[in-house]
Amino acid sequence: MKTMTRLAFLLAAGVLALSGCGGSDSGNQADTEAIEELVAGLNRANADRDGAAVCQLLQPSTFAMTFSSRSKCASETGQILKQAGESPKLVIEDISIEGETATVSFAGRSGEAPLVKEGGSWYLSLEPGTSATADDPATDATDDGDSGGGG
């Protein structure tokens, strides 16, 4: 359930916004550009309230632990997007890349979006223990208590 809570927070907080990169990163230019494109893809999915598009951007290796199917992911994520309403446009403040993991922080927001690189592509991390937002009060506010999803 913590994974759904983290995903709900990230969606509701506007991590799904197209962002310009400021700050520094510790990875190479190709990784930085791929992460910026991931955020842009999340922005497009948010603007369209497209849960299925968001699900395509989630960490493949842990997807089944969180959702039993792509359709369940699309349905649950779509509901979160609809409840979140308009998401503010955020600007990437910093991208920190360490090997196959990264975090993205946004100007004016607490917490970070955890990312992971699998199969040469970057995804929103669903791994337990990667939430940098666990102490953020907004995380609890978006948890609807749904026990489905197995997270």
Q: Look at residue 43 and tell me whether its pLDDT is greater than 90.
A: no
Alpha helices by DSSP H, 63-136: 63-66, 70-84
- The Cα–Cα gap between 7 and 68 comes to 16
Q: Look at residue 15 and tell me whether its pLDDT is greater than 70.
A: no
Structural domains in the chain, CATH included, are 2-128 (3.10.450.50)
Q: Is pTM, for the whole model, over 0.85?
A: no
Q: What is the pLDDT of residue 44?
A: 84
**Rg from Cα positions in the chain:** 14
Three-class secondary structure of residue 81 per DSSP: helix
Give the other-Cβ count within 10 Å of 64's Cβ.
Answer: 11
* Pick from 90, 116, 91: nearest CA to 21: 91
Q: Look at residue 142 and tell me whether its pLDDT is greater than 70.
A: no
HSE-CB of 72 using CA atoms within 13 angstroms: 14
- The Cα–Cα gap between 59 and 66 comes to 10
Q: What is the pLDDT of residues 85-139, one digit of tens each?
A: 777 665 778 999 999 999 998 777 778 889 999 999 999 998 765 444 333 333 3
Q: What is the pLDDT of residue 6?
A: 56
CB 107 within 8 A of CB 35: no
Residue 39 CB-density burial (10 A; 0-12 exposed, 13-18 middle, 19+ buried): buried
Instruction: Tell which wins on pLDDT, 127 or 78.
Output: 78
**What mean pLDDT is reported for the chain?**
73
